[in-house]
Amino acid sequence: MRSRTSTTMGALHPILFFAGVYIVVLLFSIFICSTIFYSCSANKTDIVKKQEPKATPTATGYTTASITLVK
């Protein structure tokens, strides 16, 4: 019987895969932690509410109403 041999790339595939996953997770964790840090250390600003314009009456002056029948 012929013995099975694996190539160097095939033997390193699991190690390279987990190294790649580790690098991706490391980059995401740096991004998430820096986002949290900058949001916590941001200057406090006053929240200004936008004023809504006052409602103007309709051109006809009529208003709509619902009418229900009472028995």
- 22 vs 62: which has the higher pLDDT: 22
Cα distances from 3 to residues 6, 14, 53, in angstroms, run 10, 21, 84
Hey, where are the domains in the chain? 10-39
Q: SS3 of 16, please?
A: helix
Predicted confidence (pLDDT) per residue in 15-46, tens digit: 999 999 999 999 999 999 999 998 888 776 65
Farthest CA pair distance, the chain: 99
Predicted confidence (pLDDT) per residue in 47-57, tens digit: 667 777 666 65
